[in-house]
Structures are given as structure tokens and as C-alpha cells.
Amino acid sequence: MTTERISTLQRKTNETDIELRLQVDGNGEASINSPVPFLNHMLDLFTRHGLFNLSVNATGDTDIDDHHTTEDIAICLGQALQQALGDKKGIRRYGNAFVPMDEALAQVVVDLSNRPHLEYNATLPSQKVGTFDTELVHEFLWKLALEARMNLHVIVHNGVNTHHIIEAIFKALGRALDEATMVDPRVNGVPSTKGML
């Protein structure tokens, strides 16, 4: 790579204050600090399995609930990914990963198409993992797909333990994005007959 694919951004609202730095071509180093412990754990797994370098420092109105902080971190991560990839020349564009976690099996398929879409085929048995509202997994993934402008499909094939299912999803997300963002020397320009993504 002649150009480092790195993005740094800040988002400050009346609800949250977030600083995020993403290096696409990393080695799995994560420094995640937010008031949502379960999300911190999932982002650490995402980073390590995607071999990105990710730093997040966030505060938010978690005295109300975790929604705003979770949503805004996803917005920042999606924007950072979109910015870091630039014109997307030479990337593979598509990624697909299956990840088992004990009885759970999750599949994530991505297309860095500039056409944001989320298909979420996952049933989470519990409404909470610890203090984390599990409905926020969908919220996180939708805002990530929207801001990264990617087509994101999440399919849970098996699973009865909610923690295992969500962990498998985030690991698979990291691995699918690692594949999709890889530069392939055989790709001339962008991988699209349109000539742009």
C-alpha cells in the first residue's frame, strides 16, 4: 500500500462525545473506551478478527440508556470506514465469513457497494445481555451499514445463547470486512462495471 487507509473523526452532540480512529490495514489492536461495556467487548472482537486498528473514546447519556452511545459509535465507525477506503480502487469489495461460537453460527456477507442496505436474519433469545439491550445490535449494524454505505447481510444459522450469537456476529463482521477491504493486485481500478463505487 502506498497510502495508509486511516480515518480519524470526532462527533459531539448533546447526547454523546466520541473520538474514533480507524486504521484499515492494521494488526488487530483495539483501544475501546465507552460507557457501554458489552459494546466495548464486541468492538474489541470485531477489531481483532478484522485485523484493523481501532481506537474509540466515548462518553454518552447512558443514565438514560445505551441507545444514543451505541448508535453514535456505529455512525462514527461507518463514516471512518467510508473515509479510510477513499475511492476504493483495488479492493475486493465483497466479503463473506462464517464464525461459530459454541452452539451459535453466524454468517456475515458485505458488499462495499455505496448502496447502503441491511438484511438482519437473527433471533436473539434474550432482551438483555447484562445491562445491554440486545435490540441495539440491529441498531448498531443498520447505522454502520448506512454510514459506511455498504450492503450488509447478517444470517444467524444456529444459536440459543444470546451472548454467543452476538459475539459470532461481530467476529464474522470483522472477518467479512477484512476480506472486502483487502487490496487485490488483479483488480484494475474499482471492482464494478460502472467504473465507480
| pLDDT tens digit sequence for 63-109 | 999 999 999 999 999 999 999 999 999 999 999 999 999 999 999 99
The answer to whether residue 2 scores a pLDDT higher than 60 is: no
- At 1 the pLDDT is 43
Helix or strand or coil: residue 79?
Answer: helix
Give whole-number Cα distances, 76 to 33, 90, 130, 193, in Å. 14, 24, 25, 30
Give whole-number Cα distances, 176 to 34, 107, 149, 152, in Å. 24, 9, 15, 10
- At 197 the pLDDT is 73
- At 191 the pLDDT is 78
For residue range 133-185, list pLDDT tens digits in order: 999 999 999 999 999 999 999 999 999 999 999 999 999 999 999 999 999 99
